[in-house]
């Protein structure tokens, strides 16, 4: 029988502690990641000992990483990253090798044993996916050129981590041949998952998602279900391979990323970003808090001096390695600088590699503590560098450009400016579209229905699928820079959000159902509030008057209305004929 | 990976196809998630994972579900429901509830457990019922409003029941204390909402991430306080919802974010509920159950379904007709309440956890809920047909005397205008008639509008436009024109089918339907969007061509708005 279930106090404490720390960080201008990590250190066994790792926090932090990668995948349109694929591979492999040599050498100098130094070298090669991607997302730079390079390098590192974890998990390898086999199997699996994801994005997914896109809740849950499918398969890959006598390992992060990547190729991915983002924020917070939850203070601090020295050496080394390699690949000075400064920390994967090595009996708990401290310390410091990367670049640009070659790599995309935005495509707005297209270079339509978006795109309009209440959608439509906005939504929330965000000079037309709403919208700056039901009521009363007075004009007016109603053209080019009514 | 992650993964993977089915056949998601949970239960067994593992996550689902109810609650609606004395609809809850208890006792269920059967039978689901009625509510039809207030008052009742449940006993003493705690929690929530929330908003400084964390933390604090005081976490969650209530415009990121988090955990809740069910089919793998127990479970579930799908709507209809609603609106509103509430599921799972409920009664309630939620969407789809069948068989006898007493039509009325519906449009039409000294009759069926109709209209019939007698009463045979302002396809088609001699104009929201109605013989169909589109183009053009500045347009429009609102008020 079911025992009494109380909600874990642990999670509540983590939540409250992190929230409090987060607010303090916000007020003092610090990045929230630092706040979460510190909250973990303070709440965990190293300091207050209020909470330890529990099954729930473990789940949520696992979900945090999985969702972070899923979200990242959703943002990656293959068309956008194709052109950086080759430099990414050319950067990441030498980078890992160089950092490995630096890390292992440094450890030897600091007095670690040969095997320990080798493993530390392996563990410090990667930069932190969680930190870099979270910061890039927060700064809205994930899809900028340097963002794409960093993300690409992180993913290559991810593949390497997976391979190394697989080798370590197999215990002490008996021969080089065994290592090679494991390596081969993992690479094949990664390739298979990629093929499955890309294949699905070409075949099944467009059909399925087109059907469900109009149902907000189902759309979201199916996307989650899809992500879990990949997470589950990646995690249980052993189960599927056991009959073949192969032992292998795939990270759930890799699976989640591929699941997201498959969805990113669909036109509905924007809407999903905003739905997945809040869950990711919540879970990733738990992840950062729990980084420090596993270790006792004595283990964590055994090698604290070594950790600080290592951090102070490794961060500049990482920066220089990245800087040299990016420059070598022909990126401009700014991209090179930003792309490198983002990657100077040691990854949470470093901790995981160390943890697996600890479990395999390769290293002591104190070395794991050293790795943890090194990771926490470099993550914390790097967050500041990422946060202030642009001012830093401006400060150092003159010096830097003396050292770098001229950039030859092109990237970036066009943004809307002085355009017209139409929210909702329906019988009201469809008449206005040709008129707006006539006067504006860009007309962007935001709509929640797949059918409408397809029709609009076929007609040559820029259409964004999504809910206007989502921040990404508003940003995509560049609401702030619009010169004209028209909303056919009668939801006051949507219209108020529009009025809040448009620039002062923009002309805004909105719709309302009730007089009170209309009044409020005028108060908030609307120039014209269309009241559909009122208009119709008045027109009907006019027609009734004409009918009762047996006015001859009535028939032709009604015929005109019917003709307009019957015109099946979704974009009537007849706006010049519109108007009418009995008042003219 | 933890076992828990495997469990959650399995549940969501299984949910995928079920959700596709829901979408394909336009069914509510809740019952399909429960069914997916039942199937996922087998997957969990195959992996040797305990179903109870996700129970903690499910609790968050409950908390967030109730939390969201608290956030969205329309406090003015509480007042209207009480003032409207639709509280009388609660009488129906009592009757159906007692029947449920009696039924359980008759099958040998101890009375303490039978009480939960009563609750399951009596409460209807807002998530299913009103989701299905969206258009009717949006177009402000009588039955939409009725259904919503029925569901709403039942939801409030469910919260009260949950409050009592925390005691684990039905003795008077502890319940009084618990109600005290509950009220204290609600009071704190109101204070937080008034004094703390905006401060949090300011401190978060436009960061949606922090606002979400803040709101979830508030939820955790309230839930924790509820747990500490020994009352149901649902009450704490409800209070937290009240604390976070706010105009969403300023905190769009927060409220969108909370919705995502809610959707995720609520899905886990319904899936877990499904996974906990032991199916009454002993021949299935992993099902350890005897034949007698199976039969008992099936009987209980079957009886509950019957009570919910047949008895409850019947009693609700009777109550509403007694309250003065005409038969059609009453029937259609009642048909939207023919399912077990998601709150009943919360109550059931809490009771199961507290050990107040045995597995087989719990299973019966969950199964009945899943079945009735699916059935409900079917009855909703065919509601007009169900009503017609009942009416034609004379089950719902048309009460002509009642229409006679409520209506006021001059004896020799001819060459008049018949106006259906006394809303905004109806009022404008009557103004037009009165200017012209044109005789008219208004047909209206909403008791709430009755007083205004009596005060403002010269002639009116108080009855359902779908009924022939109403039209006899309005003397349609001698009328000049019939103008319907009701935006409802069934009503429009019914009016066309009467084949009046008089001209007929209708109203439609959808362009294609408007065209169909014209084709079917309407003289004219008023479609609001068409006009709005025309006006819009003229206005936009005038601004873009520089005929008027946006500011001038604004002043002009505002002046017009004020003159209109004065004219109509």
Say whether both B29 and B164 belong to one domain: yes
In this prediction, residue A171 carries a pLDDT of 62
Asked if B9's CB is within 8 angstroms of A232's CB, the reply is yes
Say whether both B128 and B93 belong to one domain: yes
Residue A292's nearest CA partner among A367, A376, A383, A377 is A376
**Which residues in chain B are contacts of A215 at CB distance < 8 A?**
23
- Around Cβ B65, how many Cβ atoms within 10 Å? 24
In this prediction, residue A221 carries a pLDDT of 94
**Which residues in chain A are contacts of B19 at CB distance < 8 A?**
212, 218, 221-222, 225
In this prediction, residue A345 carries a pLDDT of 92
Say whether both B38 and B75 belong to one domain: yes
- The arithmetic mean of pLDDT across residues B122-131, rounded, is 76
Asked if B223's CB is within 8 angstroms of A527's CB, the reply is no
Asked if B213's CB is within 8 angstroms of A500's CB, the reply is no
Q: Does the residue B295 lie in any domain?
A: yes
Asked if A558's CB is within 8 angstroms of B428's CB, the reply is no
Candidates A496, A507, A545; nearest CB to B249? A496
CA distance B192 to B150: 30
- Around Cβ B332, how many Cβ atoms within 10 Å? 25
Candidates B200, B515, B554; nearest CB to A522? B554
In A, minimum Cα distance to B200 occurs at A23
Q: What ipTM does this complex have?
A: 0.84
**Which residues in chain A are contacts of B32 at CB distance < 8 A?**
none
CA quadruple B102, B108, B110, B113: dihedral positive or negative? negative
How far off is chain A from B500, nearest CA to CA, in Å?
18
In this prediction, residue B532 carries a pLDDT of 78
**Which residues in chain A are contacts of B263 at CB distance < 8 A?**
217, 220-221
Say whether both B358 and B432 belong to one domain: no
In this prediction, residue A578 carries a pLDDT of 47
B window 520-539, beta carbon within 8 A of A: 523-539
Tell me the residue range of the domain where B496 lies. Answer: 400-544
CATH 3.40.50.720 in chain A is located at: 420-530
CA A345-A348-A354 angle, to 5 degrees, is 110
Say whether both B352 and B377 belong to one domain: yes
How far off is chain B from A436, nearest CA to CA, in Å?
9
Interface test with A, best of B7, B10, B12, B165 (most A CBs within 10 A): B12
Residue A512's nearest CA partner among A445, B245, A502, A498 is A498
Phi, psi of A507 (to 5 degrees): -95, 130
Residue B136, pLDDT > 70, answer no
B7 touches chain A (CB under 8 A): no
Q: Mind listing the pLDDT tens digit of every residue in chain A (584 residues)?
A: 344 445 667 888 899 999 999 999 888 877 787 788 889 888 888 788 888 777 888 888 888 888 988 887 887 777 767 778 888 889 999 999 999 999 999 999 999 999 899 999 999 999 988 888 888 877 878 778 888 889 889 888 877 887 777 677 666 666 777 778 777 887 888 888 889 988 998 899 988 888 888 888 899 999 999 999 999 998 888 777 777 766 667 778 778 888 998 998 888 888 888 899 899 989 989 988 887 777 777 887 888 899 999 999 999 999 999 999 998 888 888 889 999 999 999 988 788 788 778 877 788 888 888 998 898 889 888 988 998 888 888 888 878 777 666 655 554 455 788 899 999 888 788 888 888 888 888 899 998 888 888 888 888 888 888 888 888 788 888 888 899 999 988 788 888 889 988 888 889 999 888 888 888 899 988 998 888 878 888 888 888 888 988 888 888 888 888 887 777 565 665 554 444 445 44
B23 touches chain A (CB under 8 A): yes
- The arithmetic mean of pLDDT across residues B63-91, rounded, is 72
Candidates A208, A428, A541; nearest CB to B536? A428
- The arithmetic mean of pLDDT across residues B54-74, rounded, is 83
Interface test with A, best of B215, B528, B538, B552 (most A CBs within 10 A): B528
- Around Cβ B569, how many Cβ atoms within 10 Å? 6
Candidates B63, B417, B534; nearest CB to A578? B534
- The arithmetic mean of pLDDT across residues B425-454, rounded, is 87
Assigned CATH for A9-400: 1.20.1530.20
- The arithmetic mean of pLDDT across residues B338-356, rounded, is 85
Higher pLDDT, B139 or B357: B357
How far off is chain B from A363, nearest CA to CA, in Å?
22
Which tokens is B142 given? 């009588």
Q: Is B501 helix (H, G, I), strand (E, B) or coil?
A: coil
Asked if B256's CB is within 8 angstroms of A212's CB, the reply is no
Asked if B353's CB is within 8 angstroms of A8's CB, the reply is no
How far off is chain B from A258, nearest CA to CA, in Å?
16
B220 touches chain A (CB under 8 A): yes
Q: Does the residue B561 lie in any domain?
A: no
Instruction: Give, in order, the Cα–Cα distances in Å from A41 to each of A15, A38, A50, A71, B175.
Output: 14, 5, 10, 27, 42
Candidates B6, B529, B538; nearest CB to A426? B529
**Would you say B229 and B185 are in contact if contact means Cβ atoms under 8 Å apart?**
yes
Residue B457's nearest CA partner among B481, B483, B426 is B426
CA distance A263 to A209: 9
Higher pLDDT, B148 or B220: B220
Candidates B56, B417, B550; nearest CB to A7? B56
Say whether both B465 and B509 belong to one domain: yes
Give buried/exposed letters for B255-266 (b at 16+ CB in 10 A, else e). bbbbbbbbbbbb
Tokens 């004395």 map to which residue? Answer: B85
Q: At what angle do helices A55-75 and A9-28 cross, to 10 degrees?
A: 50
Say whether both B368 and B488 belong to one domain: no
Asked if B208's CB is within 8 angstroms of A11's CB, the reply is no
In A, minimum Cα distance to B533 occurs at A428
Higher pLDDT, B41 or B162: B41
Burial of A177 (0-12, 13-18, 19+ CB in 10 A): exposed
B window 344-383, beta carbon within 8 A of A: 352-355, 359
**Would you say B174 and B167 are in contact if contact means Cβ atoms under 8 Å apart?**
yes
CA distance A45 to A52: 7
Higher pLDDT, A43 or B569: A43
Name, of A90-104, B274-288, B324-338, B523-537, the range with top average pLDDT: A90-104
Say whether both B319 and B446 belong to one domain: no
CA distance B235 to B243: 12
Interface test with B, best of A17, A64, A134, A217 (most B CBs within 10 A): A217
Boundary-marking domain end, from B362, B392, B422: B392
Boundary-marking domain end, from B392, B415, B445: B392
B window 395-434, beta carbon within 8 A of A: 417, 424-425, 427-429, 431-433
Asked if B483's CB is within 8 angstroms of A540's CB, the reply is yes
Q: To which CATH superfamily is domain A420-530 assigned?
A: NAD(P)-binding Rossmann-like Domain (3.40.50.720)
Say whether both B440 and B491 belong to one domain: yes
Q: How many CB pairs under 8 A join A and B?
A: 337
B555 touches chain A (CB under 8 A): no
Say whether both B338 and B355 belong to one domain: yes
Residue B443: CATH number of its domain: 3.40.50.720
- The arithmetic mean of pLDDT across residues B494-514, rounded, is 89
Sheet holding A462-465, edge to edge: A462-465, A443-447, A420-423, A484-487, A507-511, A528-530
Boundary-marking domain end, from B392, B408, B433: B392
Candidates A225, A500, A561; nearest CB to B16? A225
B485 touches chain A (CB under 8 A): yes
Domains in chain B: how many in total? 2
In this prediction, residue B15 carries a pLDDT of 96
CATH 1.20.1530.20 in chain A is located at: 9-400
H or E segment at B50? none
Asked if A427's CB is within 8 angstroms of B564's CB, the reply is no
Candidates A55, A226, A469; nearest CB to B2? A55
How far off is chain B from A538, nearest CA to CA, in Å?
7
Residue B473, pLDDT > 50, answer yes
Asked if A493's CB is within 8 angstroms of B248's CB, the reply is yes
Asked if B543's CB is within 8 angstroms of A2's CB, the reply is no
How far off is chain B from A454, nearest CA to CA, in Å?
20
B21 touches chain A (CB under 8 A): no
Interface test with B, best of A59, A65, A162, A289 (most B CBs within 10 A): A59
In this prediction, residue A2 carries a pLDDT of 40
Q: Is B391 helix (H, G, I), strand (E, B) or coil?
A: helix
Higher pLDDT, B400 or B545: B545
- A9-23, A557-571, B214-228, B471-485: range with lowest mean pLDDT: A557-571
Would you list the DSSP string of B216-228?
Answer: HHHHHHHHHHHHH
- A467-476, B238-247, B385-394, B560-569: range with lowest mean pLDDT: B560-569
Give buried/exposed letters for A77-107 (b at 16+ CB in 10 A, else e). eeeebeebeebbeebbeebbebbbebbbebb
Candidates B543, B550, B561; nearest CB to A518? B561
Asked if A16's CB is within 8 angstroms of B59's CB, the reply is no
**Which residues in chain B are contacts of A74 at CB distance < 8 A?**
none
Residue B157: CATH number of its domain: 1.20.1530.20
In this prediction, residue B81 carries a pLDDT of 60
Say whether both B373 and B416 belong to one domain: no
Asked if A565's CB is within 8 angstroms of B511's CB, the reply is yes
């Amino acid at each position: 029988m079911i025992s009494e279930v109380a909600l874990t106090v642990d999670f509540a404490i983590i939540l409250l502690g992190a929230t409090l720390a987060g607010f303090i960080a916000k007020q003092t201008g610090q990045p929230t990641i630092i706040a979460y990590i510190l909250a973990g250190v303070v709440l965990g066994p190293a300091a207050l000992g209020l909470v330890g790792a529990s099954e729930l926090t473990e789940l949520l932090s696992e979900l945090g990483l999985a969702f972070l990668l899923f979200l990242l995948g959703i943002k990656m349109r293959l068309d956008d990253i194709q052109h950086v694929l080759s430099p990414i591979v050319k950067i990441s492999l030498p980078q890992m090798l160089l950092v490995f040599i630096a890390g292992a050498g440094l450890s030897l100098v600091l007095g670690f044993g040969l095997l320990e130094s080798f493993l530390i070298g392996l563990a410090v090669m990667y930069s932190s996916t969680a930190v870099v991607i979270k910061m890039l997302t927060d700064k809205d730079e994930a899809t900028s050129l340097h963002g794409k390079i960093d993300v690409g390098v992180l993913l290559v590192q991810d593949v390497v981590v997976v391979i190394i974890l697989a080798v370590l998990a197999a215990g002490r390898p008996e021969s080089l041949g065994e290592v090679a086999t494991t390596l081969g199997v993992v690479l094949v699996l990664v390739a298979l998952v990629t093929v499955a994801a890309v294949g699905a994005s070409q075949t099944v997914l467009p059909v399925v998602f087109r059907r469900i896109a109009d149902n907000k809740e189902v759309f979201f849950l199916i996307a989650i279900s899809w992500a879990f499918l990949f997470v589950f398969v990646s995690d249980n890959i052993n189960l599927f391979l056991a009959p073949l006598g192969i032992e292998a390992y795939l990270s759930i992060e890799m699976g989640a990323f591929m699941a997201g990547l498959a969805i990113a190729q669909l036109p509905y991915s924007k809407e999903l970003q905003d739905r997945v983002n809040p869950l990711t924020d919540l879970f990733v917070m738990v992840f950062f808090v729990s980084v420090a939850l596993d270790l006792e203070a004595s283990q964590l601090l055994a090698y604290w001096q070594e950790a600080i020295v290592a951090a102070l050496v490794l961060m500049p080394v990482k920066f220089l390695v990245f800087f040299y390699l990016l420059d070598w690949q022909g990126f401009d000075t700014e991209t090179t600088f930003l792309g490198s400064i983002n990657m100077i920390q040691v990854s949470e994967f470093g901790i995981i590699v160390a943890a697996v090595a600890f479990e395999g009996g390769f290293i002591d708990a104190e070395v794991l503590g050293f790795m943890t401290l090194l990771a926490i310390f470099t993550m914390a410091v790097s967050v500041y560098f990422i946060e202030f990367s642009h001012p830093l670049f401006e400060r150092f640009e003159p010096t830097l450009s003396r050292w770098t070659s001229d950039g030859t790599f092109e990237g970036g995309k066009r943004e809307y400016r002085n355009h017209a935005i139409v929210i909702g495509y329906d019988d009201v707005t469809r008449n206005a579209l040709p008129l707006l297209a006539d006067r504006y270079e860009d007309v962007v339509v935001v709509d929640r229905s797949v059918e409408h978006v397809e029709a609009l795109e076929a007609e040559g309009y820029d259409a964004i699928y999504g809910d206007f209440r989502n921040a990404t959608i508003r940003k995509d439509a560049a609401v702030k820079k619009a010169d004209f906005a028209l909303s056919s939504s009668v939801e006051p929330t949507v219209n108020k959000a529009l009025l809040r965000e448009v620039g002062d000079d923009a002309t805004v037309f909105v719709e309302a159902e009730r007089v009170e709403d209309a009044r409020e919208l005028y108060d908030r700056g609307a120039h014209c509030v269309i009241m559909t039901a009122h208009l119709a009521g008045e027109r009907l009363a006019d027609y009734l008057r004409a009918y009762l007075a047996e006015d001859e004009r009535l028939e032709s007016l009604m015929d005109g209305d019917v003709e307009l109603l019957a015109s099946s053209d979704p974009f009537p080019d007849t706006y010049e004929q519109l108007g009418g009514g009995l008042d003219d | 990976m933890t076992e828990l992650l495997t469990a959650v993964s399995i549940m969501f993977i299984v949910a995928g196809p079920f959700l596709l089915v829901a979408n394909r056949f336009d069914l509510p998601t809740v019952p399909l998630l429960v069914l997916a949970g039942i199937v996922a239960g087998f997957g969990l067994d195959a992996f040797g994972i305990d179903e109870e593992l996700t129970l903690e996550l499910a609790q968050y689902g409950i908390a967030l579900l109730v939390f969201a109810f608290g956030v969205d609650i329309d406090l003015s609606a509480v007042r209207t429901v009480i003032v409207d004395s639709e509280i009388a609809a609660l009488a129906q809850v009592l009757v159906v509830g007692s029947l449920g208890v009696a039924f359980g006792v008759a099958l040998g269920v101890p009375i303490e457990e039978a009480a939960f059967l009563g609750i399951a039978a009596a409460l209807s689901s807002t998530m299913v019922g009103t989701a299905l009625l969206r258009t009717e509510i949006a177009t402000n039809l009588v039955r939409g409003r009725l259904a919503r207030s029925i569901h709403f008052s039942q939801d409030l009742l469910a919260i009260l029941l949950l409050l009592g449940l925390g005691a684990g006993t039905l003795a008077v003493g502890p319940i009084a204390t618990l109600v005290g705690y509950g009220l204290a929690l609600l009071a704190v929530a109101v204070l937080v909402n008034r004094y703390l929330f905006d401060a949090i908003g300011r401190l978060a400084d436009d960061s949606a991430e922090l606002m979400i964390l803040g709101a979830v933390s508030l939820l955790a604090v309230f839930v924790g306080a509820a747990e500490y005081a020994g009352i149901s976490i649902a009450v704490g969650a409800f209070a937290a919802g009240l604390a976070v209530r706010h105009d969403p415009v300023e905190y769009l990121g927060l409220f969108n974010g909370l919705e995502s988090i809610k959707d995720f955990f609520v899905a886990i809740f319904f899936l877990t509920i499904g996974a906990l069910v032991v199916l009454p089919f002993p021949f299935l793998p992993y099902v350890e159950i005897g034949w007698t127990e199976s039969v008992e479970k099936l009987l209980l579930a079957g009886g509950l379904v019957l009570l919910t799908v047949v008895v409850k709507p019947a009693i609700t209809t009777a109550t509403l007709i007694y309250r003065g609603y005409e038969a059609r609106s009453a029937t259609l509103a009642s048909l939207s309440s023919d399912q077990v509430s998601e709150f009943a599921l919360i109550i059931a799972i809490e009771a199961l956890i507290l050990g107040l409920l045995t597995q087989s009664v719990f299973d019966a309630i969950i199964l009945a809920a899943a079945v009735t939620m699916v059935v409900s969407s079917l009855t909703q789809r065919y509601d007009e047909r169900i009503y017609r069948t009942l009416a034609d068989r004379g089950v719902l006898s048309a009460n002509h005397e009642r229409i006679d007493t409520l209506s006021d039509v001059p004896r020799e009325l001819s060459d008049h205008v018949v106006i259906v519906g006394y809303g905004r449009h109806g009022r404008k039409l009557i103004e037009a008639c009165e200017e012209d000294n044109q005789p008219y009759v208004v047909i209206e069926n909403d008791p709430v509008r009755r007083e205004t109709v009596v005060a403002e209209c010269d002639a009116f019939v108080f009855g359902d436009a779908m009924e022939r007698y109403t039209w006899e009463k309005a003397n349609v045979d001698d009328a000049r024109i019939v103008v319907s302002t009701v935006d409802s396809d069934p009503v429009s088609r019914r009016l066309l089918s009467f084949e009046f001699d008089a001209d007929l104009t209708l109203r439609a929201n959808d362009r294609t339907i408007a065209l169909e109605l014209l084709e079917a013989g309407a003289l004219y169909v008023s479609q609001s969007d068409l006009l709005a589109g025309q006006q819009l183009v003229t206005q936009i053009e005038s601004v873009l061509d520089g005929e008027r500045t946006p500011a001038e347009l604004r002043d002009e429009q505002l002046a017009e708005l004020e003159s209109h609102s004065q004219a109509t008020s």
